[in-house]
């Protein structure tokens, strides 16, 4: 599920590519005092992710942008929606917005047999742990987790994505249902790397690091109900790591017989 917020710029502003930490802060403020607020200090996937304010680019006063917040928890999204409606001023660093409207949005990859394409709206963070360097033939001069790059081949990328989604499946889906690694077949039937890039990221207040990220286009055909659940989980939680910083957010850009963006709206 998702919340879609339509924003209007309150002043001319330069687009801040390092918006992640400041937008995250507003979302955690919305969850403060709720059953989800304690997740902030837990070392586990948080159960939500969000888009960049899009379309990206510098803005003039009055320009419109859109923000999407996704989660498998309907109640979490209700708290976010209520906060955005109660306080319409949304300042993401030096980008000042007014929240014009907030609605719910149901997303689904489709019934078994449906084909489509999912694209990463924000960069995907995949780090290869040092204990798997030998298995993947990675020769480095350090013993810290290695950011995935194309020269590491697709195998570690696929494995880390699947392992990460397995963990989220264990947290957010019924225990009796099989996770991605417990079924036959790959999560995606095709993967096109759009680009890799690096940006400075404020991990916590006062701690800034440079991370290597990648953007992708993934093709899928839904095999069965289990595969459908796994793909929808990726839509709700993002793929890869640090989704609560907004990384790994994905959108359906093509689906059999349906234009993207025509998902059913619901009250939020």
Q: For every residue of 182-224, which 3-state class applies, written as one string?
A: HCCCCCCCEEEEEEEEEEEEEEECCEEEEEEEEEEEEEEECCC
Give burial (CB, 10 Å; 0-12/13-18/19+) of 242: buried
Active site residue 256: no
Active-site option among 12, 16, 41, 236: 41
The answer to whether residues 20 and 202 touch, using CB atoms and an 8 Å cutoff, is: yes
Integer angstrom CA distances of residue 186 from 32, 228, 233: 38, 12, 15
Beta bridge partners of 66: 6, 54
How far apart CA 247 and CA 242 sit, in angstroms, is 6
- Is the distance from CB of 90 to CB of 26 less than 8 angstroms? yes
Both tokens of residue 84?
């955005």
**Residue 191 CB-half CA count within 13 A:** 16
**Where in the sequence numbering do the catalytic residues fall?**
41
């Amino acid at each position: 599920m998702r919340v879609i917020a339509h924003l209007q710029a309150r002043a001319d502003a330069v687009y801040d590519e390092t918006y992640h930490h400041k937008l995250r802060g507003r979302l955690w403020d919305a969850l403060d005092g709720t059953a989800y607020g304690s997740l902030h200090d837990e070392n586990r996937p948080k159960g939500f992710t969000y888009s960049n304010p899009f379309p990206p680019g510098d803005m003039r006063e009055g320009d419109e942008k859109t923000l999407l917040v996704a989660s498998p928890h309907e109640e979490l999204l209700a708290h976010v929606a209520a906060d955005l409606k109660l306080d319409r001023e949304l300042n993401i660093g030096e980008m000042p917005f007014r929240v014009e409207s907030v609605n719910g949005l149901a997303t689904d990859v489709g019934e078994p047999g449906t084909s489509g394409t999912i694209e990463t709206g924000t960069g995907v963070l995949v780090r290869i742990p040092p204990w798997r360097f030998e298995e993947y033939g990675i020769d480095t001069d350090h013993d810290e987790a290695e950011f995935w790059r194309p020269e590491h081949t697709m195998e570690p990328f696929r494995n880390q994505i699947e392992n990460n989604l397995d963990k989220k499946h264990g947290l957010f889906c019924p225990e009796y249902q099989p996770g991605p690694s417990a079924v036959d077949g790959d999560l995606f039937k095709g993967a096109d790397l759009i680009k890799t890039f690096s940006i400075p990221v404020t991990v916590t207040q006062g701690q800034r690091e440079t991370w290597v990220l990648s953007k992708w286009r993934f093709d899928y055909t839904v095999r069965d109900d289990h595969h459908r659940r796994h793909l929808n989980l990726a839509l709700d939680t993002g793929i890869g790591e640090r989704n609560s910083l907004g990384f790994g957010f994905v959108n359906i850009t093509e689906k059999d017989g349906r234009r993207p963006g025509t998902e059913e709206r619901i009250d939020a």
